Chain A
């Protein structure tokens, strides 16, 4: 697997490549957008880690150029932590967004996740009774969940909640609604069971539970799966 790391800060590029090399990936380095595009044309690249703020050609523009011809996973890297910035990056075609300063292990985990999903994508899609969201695949028949092709261990309640959310993908479900449908009862006041369960699910399926990729908390309203 070959990963292209692009950042104008050479030290950051160096450290990232060290981490990735340690994981067994071959790494290409580029220090601006134009160089990145050149490297992409010259080599076969499976994933790109791209900084947004760069001289000459910034990350977003490089990404948009890339997306005209290639479909490889791209993880954006930026000091901009605003929601608006994240949305912009994801809309431009990024698969993930990591804010600086990042935890190297987390970045490596995300790279791994993206690559796994990228390579195993085709096989999962064919299965009928699978609900697929990004790298998350829920088999409603065997009641199992796979994250980037790896099986995730969930309790029956957790699975039910996740399945319910997956079936209503993109829709916000209130705690009461989940309660009613999972437990078939009315919710109890002062009981934060669902919140705790969701938290547990997140810990199991998310690389960083505080910045969930799939299962999102809509504060004060409910939960949803994107």
Chain B
């Protein structure tokens, strides 16, 4: 079914049918117009009514008054067409006939008393009908001549309907009567079924009366026109249709009505067929027998072309057909003979239909393909224009944005600057001044009539000044607090953004520094931890083989009978392995404390006792050193620290002194309260030239002597410093010439 619907054969058949129907339609229309409609005097509109209200009746009844009015108007109108009910057209030249014989029916009006008053303007009609044709002359008799012409014209005009088959009339102008029947007065005609009576009194009053006609009074359009035409003439016009004639006409009318109706019905059926075929074609358009949408070369043409073809084809064909039909009917004075125009009608209609419908179908195809707008040159143009416009608008917008940003930045800078100024001393003075000023203003306000304004002004300024100062003070507090926190080691502390611009900058900078510090400290800690783990493992792994080395060296030293050199070598191995043992332990210790994995047991320690106990451990070495130890310890100084770690630290310092002091010099060891702090000092004179940095010397494996020939791991000072710092003490090392000085500071508790 679907296949059939979209198949080309079906479409072709539909096309053929469509063309056939079109031609049939045009033929029918032409025939109808030719045969019935144009021949009939009745408009299509008429067939909607009955005969009694048709324009046939009104037109016929109208004729006498129309003629009369025309006669009066002859000076204004060049010619007049009068349609007879029979369809023939009376065409009249305005120039009156030069030979005019008085009609026997003209009744010479008697002068009346009423017309006597008008004698000046109204001449005696007796003279008029037989007078010569008027020639314009400035004589006093001119008016007379004109008036005379009215009767002549009326007589002349009415001669056209004098012999009318069905129409009777009775016209009376003043006393002159024109009639084509036996009527003695208008009353005689008013017995008829259809009559129309129009009366004009000499004072210009008009009245109309009709009978039989049932249409709108407007269709009985003839009436007396403007007053000046008639002057003071009293006129009666009565027209009537003979009853037999009316009956006869009615029958003809009804017959024609039936014919036209049938004609219209056929046209409607044909039109319906055409419309249905078009609908089918539209529905089937653009799809092949499989129901697929296909695009052909024809589809590539612009939408507008098809639109133009469709509109042009339809309107052109209709217009051309109308012209041709009219032309071939002879109502139009065209140059085309009927034998040419008649076939042309069909050609025009067929072509018009072909072009219109095919264009329509092309448009439908475009819609189906979704290309209706895409193929439209207008749309393409509009899209192009829109793109350009968009670009322009976008640029404009950007330009505006730039301008806006410029202003915004300027404003911001202005604000920042203002805040900065406020932040400076001058700014504070300004604020202070403003406060004073506002106070003065307030004072002024209280003593002047403008008090409320001054007062308000003063309050606003004062409030603003106070607000700014309070904000500032808060900012400063926050920064102070933040800095303290960061200084105290809480590196993750973030100073909340202050209100004042300059302080904001400061706070941001501090935050930044703290952040960087935090990060670097974290990174360093991590690296330190890794290192420590490595060292710990290595330390452990070193100890086991070292144990064997020491043990077997000792065993070896007990072997008897070895050469002397061998014994020397063994003692060297023993010494070095012993050194290695200490080194391993020291390395392990410092790694632990520096990585922070050493647990520190804080206790309240007697600093003097601590030093004494440590010195006691080195009693023998001190005695044998040849150094003069001067120990001055203040009593009752207590510190909070780990005793074991501190004794190790102090022990290392003493060991250091013993190793590196110039023989025979004094060594000063003291404990004193300095500025509320416990301060331990260790001073000695170096036995060598101390050419090193104070920071360097506390580093790992750094020793004063480059040769590294002396005992010790080189970790002594580093361990001492680390332990002191682990106990929250301060370790300071200074070199002054040959004086080597270490100060350990602790908070007293």
Q: Which residues 623-669 in B have Cβ within 8 Å of A in the complex?
A: 631-635, 639, 641, 643-644, 646-647
Q: Nearest Cβ in chain A — how far from B570, in angstroms?
A: 14
Is B546 on the interface with A (CB-CB < 8 A)? yes
Q: Which residues 604-621 in B have Cβ within 8 Å of A in the complex?
A: 604-610, 612-617, 619
13 pairs of residues in contact across A and B, judged by CB atoms under 8 Å = A80-B540, A100-B543, A105-B554, A175-B606, A175-B609, A189-B608, A189-B634, A190-B632, A192-B631, A219-B646, A220-B606, A220-B607, A221-B604
Is B544 on the interface with A (CB-CB < 8 A)? yes
Q: Which residues 579-612 in B have Cβ within 8 Å of A in the complex?
A: 581, 584-585, 588, 603-610, 612
> Contacts A9-B544, A101-B581, A102-B547 given: A220-B631 contact, CB under 8 Å?
no
Is B135 on the interface with A (CB-CB < 8 A)? no
> Contacts A15-B548, A16-B551, A100-B543 given: A220-B641 contact, CB under 8 Å?
yes
* Across-interface contacts of A19 in B (CB, < 8 A): 551, 554-555
Task: Please name the residue on chain A nearest to B558 by beta carbon.
Answer: A22
Of the residues B544, B552, B555, B634, contact of A100 by C-beta under 8 Å: B544
Binding site for B on A (CB under 8 A): 9, 11-12, 15-16, 18-19, 22, 79-81, 100-105, 174-175, 189-192, 194-196, 198-199, 210, 217-222
Of the residues B543, B554, B612, B646, contact of A195 by C-beta under 8 Å: B612
Measured CA separation A217–B612 after assembly (Å): 11
Q: Is B543's CB under 8 angstroms from A79's CB?
A: yes
Q: Nearest Cβ in chain A — how far from B720, in angstroms?
A: 14
Is B550 on the interface with A (CB-CB < 8 A)? yes
- Mark contacts of B507-545 with chain A using CB atoms, 8 A cut-off: 1 yes-contact digit, 0 otherwise: 000000000000000000000000000000000100110
Q: Is B540's CB under 8 angstroms from A220's CB?
A: no
Q: Is B551's CB under 8 angstroms from A196's CB?
A: no
Looking at chain B's contact residues, is the secondary structure mostly helix, strand, loop, or mixed?
A: helix
Measured CA separation A78–B644 after assembly (Å): 21
Q: Nearest Cβ in chain A — how far from B677, in angstroms?
A: 17
* A-B interface, 9 closest residue pairs, ranked by CB to CB distance from nearest: A220-B605, A219-B643, A195-B616, A15-B551, A192-B612, A220-B610, A101-B547, A219-B647, A101-B546
Of the residues B552, B584, B632, B647, contact of A15 by C-beta under 8 Å: B552
Most buried by B among A81, A100, A105, A220: A220
Measured CA separation A100–B634 after assembly (Å): 40
> Contacts A192-B612, A196-B616, A196-B619 given: A12-B544 contact, CB under 8 Å?
yes
Q: Is A192's CB under 8 angstroms from B544's CB?
A: no
* Across-interface contacts of B603 in A (CB, < 8 A): 220-221
Q: Nearest Cβ in chain A — how far from B628, in angstroms?
A: 15
Q: Is A102's CB under 8 angstroms from B550's CB?
A: yes
Q: Is A218's CB under 8 angstroms from B643's CB?
A: yes
Q: Nearest Cβ in chain B — how far from A195, in angstroms?
A: 3
Q: Is B634's CB under 8 angstroms from A220's CB?
A: no
Measured CA separation A81–B609 after assembly (Å): 26
Binding site for A on B (CB under 8 A): 540, 543-544, 546-552, 554-555, 558, 577, 581, 584-585, 588, 603-610, 612-617, 619, 631-635, 639, 641, 643-644, 646-647
Task: Please name the residue on chain B nearest to A191 by beta carbon.
Answer: B612
Task: Please name the residue on chain B nearest to A80 by beta carbon.
Answer: B540
Q: Is A15's CB under 8 angstroms from B616's CB?
A: no
Of the residues B548, B551, B555, B615, contact of A192 by C-beta under 8 Å: B615
Q: Is A81's CB under 8 angstroms from B588's CB?
A: yes
Q: Is B606's CB under 8 angstroms from A221's CB?
A: yes
Measured CA separation A22–B549 after assembly (Å): 18
> Contacts A220-B605, A220-B609 given: A199-B646 contact, CB under 8 Å?
no
Q: Is A101's CB under 8 angstroms from B634's CB?
A: no
Q: Is B619's CB under 8 angstroms from A103's CB?
A: no
Measured CA separation A198–B606 after assembly (Å): 17
Q: Is A199's CB under 8 angstroms from B617's CB?
A: yes
Q: Is A199's CB under 8 angstroms from B619's CB?
A: yes
* Across-interface contacts of A219 in B (CB, < 8 A): 605, 610, 613-614, 643-644, 646-647
Measured CA separation A102–B578 after assembly (Å): 10
Q: Nearest Cβ in chain B — how far from A129, in angstroms?
A: 31
Measured CA separation A219–B607 after assembly (Å): 9
Measured CA separation A11–B581 after assembly (Å): 18
Task: Please name the residue on chain B nearest to A196 by beta carbon.
Answer: B616
Q: Is B609's CB under 8 angstroms from A101's CB?
A: no
Q: Is A190's CB under 8 angstroms from B605's CB?
A: no
* Across-interface contacts of B577 in A (CB, < 8 A): 101
Most buried by B among A11, A190, A194: A190
* Across-interface contacts of A189 in B (CB, < 8 A): 608, 633-635
19 additional contacts, CB 8 Å, given A81-B585, A189-B634, A217-B647? A16-B551, A19-B554, A19-B555, A102-B547, A102-B550, A103-B550, A103-B554, A104-B551, A104-B555, A195-B616, A196-B619, A210-B617, A220-B603, A220-B605, A220-B607, A220-B646, A221-B604, A221-B606, A222-B609
* Across-interface contacts of A12 in B (CB, < 8 A): 544, 547-548, 551
Measured CA separation A11–B544 after assembly (Å): 10
Task: Please name the residue on chain A nearest to B588 by beta carbon.
Answer: A81
Q: Nearest Cβ in chain B — how far from A127, in angstroms?
A: 32
Task: Please name the residue on chain B nearest to A105 by beta carbon.
Answer: B554
Task: Please name the residue on chain B nearest to A223 by beta carbon.
Answer: B613
Q: Nearest Cβ in chain A — how far from B130, in angstroms?
A: 165
Measured CA separation A60–B607 after assembly (Å): 38
Task: Please name the residue on chain A nearest to B577 by beta carbon.
Answer: A101
* Across-interface contacts of A199 in B (CB, < 8 A): 616-617, 619
Q: Nearest Cβ in chain A — how far from B670, in angstroms?
A: 10
Q: Nearest Cβ in chain B — how far from A105, in angstroms?
A: 7
Most buried by A among B546, B549, B617: B617
Q: Is A175's CB under 8 angstroms from B612's CB?
A: yes
Q: Nearest Cβ in chain B — how far from A168, in angstroms?
A: 17
Task: Please name the residue on chain A nearest to B645 by beta carbon.
Answer: A219
Task: Please name the residue on chain B nearest to A9 by beta carbon.
Answer: B544
Q: Is A101's CB under 8 angstroms from B550's CB?
A: yes
Task: Please name the residue on chain A nearest to B554 by beta carbon.
Answer: A104
Task: Please name the residue on chain B nearest to A195 by beta carbon.
Answer: B616
Q: Is A79's CB under 8 angstroms from B540's CB?
A: yes
* Across-interface contacts of B617 in A (CB, < 8 A): 199, 210
* Across-interface contacts of B646 in A (CB, < 8 A): 219-220
Task: Please name the residue on chain B nearest to A199 by beta carbon.
Answer: B616
Task: Please name the residue on chain A nearest to B548 by beta carbon.
Answer: A11
Task: Please name the residue on chain A nearest to B636 by beta carbon.
Answer: A189
* Across-interface contacts of A210 in B (CB, < 8 A): 617
* Across-interface contacts of A105 in B (CB, < 8 A): 554
Q: Nearest Cβ in chain A — how far from B644, in angstroms?
A: 6
Q: Nearest Cβ in chain B — how far from A19, in angstroms?
A: 7
* Across-interface contacts of B551 in A (CB, < 8 A): 12, 15-16, 19, 104
Task: Please name the residue on chain B nearest to A175 by beta carbon.
Answer: B609
* Across-interface contacts of B635 in A (CB, < 8 A): 189
Q: Is A198's CB under 8 angstroms from B552's CB?
A: no
Q: Is A101's CB under 8 angstroms from B543's CB?
A: yes
Q: Nearest Cβ in chain B — how far from A92, in angstroms?
A: 20
* Across-interface contacts of B547 in A (CB, < 8 A): 9, 12, 79, 100-102
Measured CA separation A15–B556 after assembly (Å): 11
Measured CA separation A102–B604 after assembly (Å): 33
Q: Is A221's CB under 8 angstroms from B609's CB?
A: yes
Measured CA separation A220–B574 after assembly (Å): 34
Q: Is B615's CB under 8 angstroms from A195's CB?
A: yes
* Across-interface contacts of A16 in B (CB, < 8 A): 551
* Across-interface contacts of B615 in A (CB, < 8 A): 192, 195
